Amino acid sequence: MSARDDHGYGAPRGLWRELDRHPPPGADAVRRGWRSPLRGPWLTSVLGLVLLVTLPLVIITGLLDYAAYGPQFGQAFPTHVSWLRLPTFDWPTRPSWLFRLTQGLHVGLGIVLIPVVLAKLWSVIPKLFEWPPARSVAQVLERISLLLLVGGILFETATGVLNIQYAYLFGFDFYTAHYFGAWVFIGAFVAHVALKLPRLVTTLRKRRPAVPEQPDPDRLVAERPGPPTLSRRGLLAVVGGGSLLLALLTIGQSLDGPLRRTALLLPRGRNPGSGPNGFQVNRSATAAGIQPAETGQAWRLTLTGGGRTVQLDRATLLAMTQHTARLPIACVEGWSTMQTWTGVRLADLAVLAGVPDPASAHVRSLEQGGLFRQATLQSNQVTDRDALLALRVNGVDLSADHGFPARIIVPALPGVHCTKWVADIEFHDA
């Protein structure tokens, strides 16, 4: 091998040599300290294959969720993402469980894969202590992409988990951080797959190797492996068991009934009370500052858009044609629930307002503050036959916490846009 090959093209050759000659104290000892005989191309490739198949699902469902928020109305945060903007499209209202599925998969799979991601990082951790950190410009670039890959997935997982545990605790905006973090990760992921896929394929095509494996060019195999404390099968069982446990602790948040209590990773709503209104509440009427006086006899629904203003009290709304639909609420945090809602079709309200063919509708709540006191619905989300201004749920009046006197409920609409304590709706013509 010539000195040129060894030291990379266009790089100051002296630099690599100097780095080589001056390892930081103890670097080698630390690297040799990783002695597990289980490390090697086979284990890294198996874990890599699992992530290669599953992570794209997390990525795609995440990007779909972003689209579901209707960024064309400036509702998805961040609104100004310049060239990272995805083509926007009208999020469908059918099947009604679509958002329940995409959001549930995104959050659920993201959680379940944590042990696999950690095991994959563990399998390559000695490389973190390799000296010199790079031997060529190409390797510098590769290692930077690895930094973005590892940093990206840890950041996305941490912000995602924190968001469902302590929603809105951040000093920065969760969506903005998670969205930009996602693109960093996606870029690094694509680069990593392109670089490593050939090696993954050749490794897995071979017969399953002995433990410890033969020394490999990537130096994943320990130089002086210690005695095994766990078989390779045992390690995979621990990782798979960890994922299964997380799955069992997560699945309850998408199931109604007693199993919801098993959703230990769902901080709110594990104990939603009983009766027809006994299902999860993210923000109670008290927390939202809704005064009983505002929702009593004095409450009016105001409709605008067609050049006139229509005001309706609750009795008038109840006297209109009522429609009942069984629809989910699915929250960005990953939980969802199916309930039976009854109320007035939004399409009927649009006709009353004088906008029979609305392009969009802007809904505002009685709530004064808070991020979720308003939402814009697209045309299909107003005209769907099951798009409702719900007055009742499961055969009784909505409870104060579920949005009495009236709330929005629309098939496949993200929960955050199912505005509670609705005060007015403004319909817009095309």
Residues in contact with ligand MTE by CB under 6 A are 280-283, 288, 329, 331, 365, 367, 370, 372-373, 402-403, 415-416, 418-421
CB of 125 to ligand MTE, least distance (A): 39
Identity of residue 230: L
Pick 55 or 382: Cβ nearer ligand MTE: 382
Pick 238 or 287: Cβ nearer ligand MTE: 287
Segment interacting with Mo ion (CB under 5 A) among 119-127, 267-275, 350-358, 414-422: 414-422
Residue 403 interacts with Mo ion (CB under 5 A)? no
355 binds, among Mo ion, ligand MTE, none (CB under 5 to 8 A by kind): none
Distinct helix (H) and strand (E) counts, the chain: 13, 10
Pick 99 or 122: Cβ nearer Mo ion: 99
367 binds, among Mo ion, ligand MTE, none (CB under 5 to 8 A by kind): ligand MTE
Pick 67 or 121: Cβ nearer Mo ion: 67
DSSP structure class, residue 258: G
CB of 70 to ligand MTE, least distance (A): 15
126 binds, among ligand MTE, Mo ion, none (CB under 5 to 8 A by kind): none
CB of 302 to Mo ion, least distance (A): 25
Q: Contact at 8 Å (CB) between 358 and 429?
A: yes
254 binds, among Mo ion, ligand MTE, none (CB under 5 to 8 A by kind): none
Q: Contact at 8 Å (CB) between 131 and 24?
A: yes
CB of 391 to Mo ion, least distance (A): 21
Across 14-30, b (16+ Cβ under 10 Å) vs e yields: eebeeeeeeeeeeeeee
Q: Which of 406, 416, 422, 425 binds Mo ion (CB under 5 A)?
A: 416
Q: Given 3-state DSSP classes, what are the helix, strand and coil percentages for the chain, each rounded to the nearest 5?
A: 45, 15, 40
Distance of CA 229 to the CA centre of its chain: 36
- Interactions with Mo ion, residue window 296-335 (CB under 5 A): 331
Burial of 268: CB neighbours in 10 Å, binned 0-12, 13-18, 19+ = middle
List CB contacts of 260: < 8 A, sequence separation 6 or more.
252, 253, 266, 269, 270, 272, 280
CA pair distance 283, 268, nearest whole angstrom: 10
Pick 113 or 281: Cβ nearer ligand MTE: 281
Pick 212 or 269: Cβ nearer Mo ion: 269
Pick 218 or 294: Cβ nearer ligand MTE: 294
> Closest Cα to residue 309, out of 426, 387, 216?
426
CA pair distance 170, 385, nearest whole angstrom: 38
CA pair distance 237, 249, nearest whole angstrom: 18
Segment interacting with Mo ion (CB under 5 A) among 32-40, 62-70, 139-147, 410-418: 410-418
Give contact residues for Mo ion (rule: CB under 5 A).
Answer: 331, 415-416
